Structure 1
Amino acid sequence: MSNFKPLVRKIFKKINQMSKLSEEEQIELFCQEWEKEHLITQEDDWLEKVLSSISPNIKNLFEYDIHTKDELINRLILFLNINSSENGTEFLNQTRMLLNTLLRLITESLSQKIQEQNPQLFITNNLQNPEDIKNLIESWNAFIQNQEHIKIQKKICNIILKLINSSPFERKPEFQKAILEIEKIPQSINDNDILKILEEICEVKIQNCNTIKKSGKEIGQNTNELLIEIDKAVNNNNEHIKEILKIKEAISNNDDNLQKEKESLVNATDVLYTQITEVNTILKTKEEKIKHLYEQLNTLSLYVKNIEEQSKLDNLTDVYNRKYIDNIAEIYEQQFQGANINYSILFFDIDNFKNINDFYGHAAGDKLLTIFSKILKQNCRGTDIVGRYGGDEFMILMPSTNLEKAKEFAKRICQTIQASNFIYKNQKINITTSIGIADRNSYENKNEMIDSADKFLYKAKKAGRNRVEWE
């Protein structure tokens, strides 16, 4: 009897901890705990002995939440009902069919090279038992955890964006929205709405090319016609001039009878006048056509120029994009190499941008990027080039500027950003920026200068943010 005292004490202690139980519930709980503990007291390793005889494939189904033999029996009955020979086979066959269908669908959308590089993902013939299915699932989980599918979509999106930006076109609001969506979420490339807009962009670009070709062809055709008419008129006039010269010569050689030569001269003059009048009429007509085409060409040139200007800008913030900044940096580098004109580069990063974006949403993040870029533009000189380098990272190129002047400007920007009021949905959000600076005189080449400015930016962030760092 003394062997049961610790057991009874343990059960009472557990019941006392559950003070809200009724008397009936306390009795029920006591009986349940007694049954569990009594069973374990009598034979501590009974469950382990039973599990040792079960197949390893299903052993894990019986290793949790079983305390009594009745619970074990109930678990076995449940397992047998679910995995009867007929139902188990049917379930396995249905699973295999589903996996084969999904793999066939994925295979058709992936390149042959990707399939060759990941053969373990596309095994369909060996799905004969649960272990095979389990191995396949593990392979796909590893593939997904490495974000291989996202990397592929990102590459596709980058290629598409490069093709879109390779030539200028009119960016409608829906076009800009789709381009931003692709930049942010590569998976959106599979969205039918996005694909439809991409098709519209292609149509616009094709129409632009056709318009330019058509206008150029019309101008060329009219110019060619005009040249032919002028050439024809010149040849005719030359013939009439020869006639006039002959008459002049005849007059010089024959002083006796001038009447005949006089009549010939008058006739030649009349013909020449008529020809010149016709040529003038033709030239006037062609002039009007060319003037009209010139106006069309001028309008088209302004249109193309406007679109080209848009292609230099970041879609969201309206500052210059990275491609244009890189082109300008190359121009500054040539000036440095040829005339030793120094220039400085500043990298900006919005502090804690990811946290703001995650907490308040992408709309808040986009608005913050727009406001941040406006502050940079408003505080720059007219000669400075402001651009978005990627994400929440911005760059300013300062021509004819040494490190000291760049530092003064950067510190002033830091203070301006900190003092700014960024309000989103009536809530003020404090923003600061970290800045890295480098000037061209301090480095061997342009790439070393850019890398250093980028490193100083991250040094500023690690040092506490809201600060400027330089060599």
Structure 2
Amino acid sequence: MNKKFSYSKIFDELAAEILNILKEIRKNNQALDKKVLIEYLNKNETINQLLKSNNCDLQIDEVRREFFNILSKVESILPNDIIDDFKKDIDKTRDICEFNSLFIKILNAFATYLIKVINTFNKVWDVLKETLKFMEVSNDKIFDLIESSKEVFIEEIKNNENLDLQLEKIEKETKLENDLENLKKKLLEKLSDIKKNLKETQSHRKHQLKKLENDVNKVKEEINKYKMQIQQLQETIKQFKKEAIIDTLTSIYNRNFLEKVLPEEFEKFKRYNQALSVIMLDIDDFKKVNDNFGHQVGDNVLRYISTVIKNNIRKVDIPFRYGGEEFLVILPHTNLDQALVVANRICKELNETLFKIKGLSLKITASIGVTEARDSDTVESLIKRVDDLLLKAKKEGKNRVLSG
């Protein structure tokens, strides 16, 4: 192989370059999205050289090895179903000249997923910073409110004390005064002063209470504002978690989630002696669909298959896109006979459907394997058995259900 050209080496360089670009985008306060990243990548000399280069004289087996090496570098980052799709693309690619576009697809998936993770992290970090700032400001405001409330109470106590003193003075003067007219006059003067002081105190108190009320409302508004931001952040994290377990094309669970759920369901089967069955489905001749009708039609077929599966299973059953054109369904509390009924329903619905595309008819069928978990099983042996049954269904003519 030409020593001057290496996909694996170029990927390492571009991965490092992408990280530098992301730092530059952040430094320039630009929106971190796919469009901006593509603009930066288009200016990159290494990638432009790759796109212009002619690598059609390279050995295909050695290129495949390089591509599998690239996947090993990103398999801990990208979802398993995406990695599986790329592996199948590598195996299916027969023309050495097509590897450039596949390389760009892998690079794009890596960058897109990285952007998604960084954007989610940035949102979390921004809200955390705002929340900390709010807590600091709110803390000061709450202390101010407490101090203001304290001042109101202190003033109220002082006013009551003054009022007591005035009343005591009146009482003493009343006892000492013998002239009723003079006493009346003095009493009226004192009462007028008390009334005036009470009126002034009342007005001042109303002003203080109004200010306190306004300050409390401002704090409440800020608390509600940050509550909404935290709720939005929770929704963002929830969506990100969903995207991490949902296959974006078919809207059913992905293989990443399968690797979490299947061991849990298998543990329930072992611990509680509950029946557990698994269905594995593979679309027959799917490559021909893509080759003859295009990938857009192929994507529509995958979406249709996932819809058929969902329409024929219960709410407790869990469907997954296993990778490429393969699907898997976990059926808790289901024995082999019951699982066969479900698999045959799916097969029947597929056989009754005919796609019409540009005046041509397209019939989609699938080969299906069905098995029930056994006491001697492990998760791996369960998957292997259902996979072997699916392959046997393929060898025996496709468009059929086999169980064992």
TM-score normalised by L of structure 2: 0.63
1:404 and 2:318 aligned: no
1:103 and 2:103 aligned: no
- In structure 2, which of residues 40, 65, 69 is the aligned counterpart of residue 151 of structure 1? 65
SS at 1:422 equivalent? strand
1:209 and 2:111 aligned: no
Tell me how far apart the structure 1 counterparts of residues 86 and 378 of structure 2 sit (CA, whole Å).
Answer: 36
Tell me how far apart the structure 2 counterparts of residues 351 and 200 of structure 1 sit (CA, whole Å).
Answer: 31
1:348 and 2:281 aligned: yes
Deviations 1:337-384 (A, max 9, x none): 554443321111122334554555545544433332222222222332
Contact 1:223 1:290 in 2 (8 A): no
1:219 and 2:134 aligned: no
SS at 1:411 equivalent? helix
Deviations 1:424-443 (A, max 9, x none): 44322343222222233554
1:453 and 2:353 aligned: no
CA gap 1:164/1:442 in 2 versus in 1, 3 angstroms:
closer
The percent identity for this pair of structures is: 25
CA gap 1:104/1:353 in 2 versus in 1, 3 angstroms:
closer
Is the deviation greater in 408-417 or in 199-208? 199-208
CA gap 1:257/1:164 in 2 versus in 1, 3 angstroms:
farther
Contact 2:88 2:324 in 1 (8 A): no
> Shift of the alpha carbon at 1:318?
3.0
Contact 2:145 2:216 in 1 (8 A): no
CA gap 1:275/1:156 in 2 versus in 1, 3 angstroms:
farther
Deviations 1:370-406 (A, max 9, x none): 3322222222223322221012211112233222211
SS at 2:249 equivalent? coil
SS at 2:279 equivalent? strand
Contact 2:152 2:208 in 1 (8 A): no
Contact 1:243 1:268 in 2 (8 A): no
Counterpart of 2:38? Answer: none
CA gap 1:240/1:193 in 2 versus in 1, 3 angstroms:
same
CA gap 1:386/1:188 in 2 versus in 1, 3 angstroms:
farther
> Shift of the alpha carbon at 1:284?
0.6
> What does 1:43-442 correspond to in 2, within 5 Å?
102-106=2-6, 109=9, 144=59, 147-157=61-71, 159-160=73-74, 163=77, 184=89, 187-188=99-100, 199=111, 202-203=114-115, 205-235=117-147, 237-238=149-150, 241=153, 256-257=168-169, 276-336=209-269, 339-358=272-291, 362-440=295-373, 442=375
Tell me how far apart the structure 1 counterparts of residues 201 and 168 of structure 2 sit (CA, whole Å).
Answer: 21
Contact 2:355 2:362 in 1 (8 A): yes
Is the deviation greater in 368-377 or in 154-163? 154-163
Which has the larger Rg? 1
Q: Which runs of 5+ in 2 are unaligned?
A: 13-55, 94-98, 171-189
| Paired AA for residue 446 in structure 1 | V
SS at 2:370 equivalent? strand
Contact 1:434 1:465 in 2 (8 A): yes
How many residues of Structure 1 are paired with residues of Structure 2 in the alignment? 329
SS at 1:373 equivalent? helix
Is the deviation greater in 276-285 or in 353-362? 353-362
CA gap 1:273/1:224 in 2 versus in 1, 3 angstroms:
farther
| Paired AA for residue 385 in structure 1 | I
Is the deviation greater in 206-215 or in 102-111? 102-111
TM-score normalised by L of structure 1: 0.56
| Paired AA for residue 361 in structure 2 | K
Q: Which runs of 5+ in 1 are unaligned?
A: 1-98, 113-140, 167-175
| Paired AA for residue 252 in structure 2 | V
CA gap 1:230/1:108 in 2 versus in 1, 3 angstroms:
closer
Indicate the structure whose relative CO is greater, using CA pairs within 8 Å and at least 6 residues apart.
2
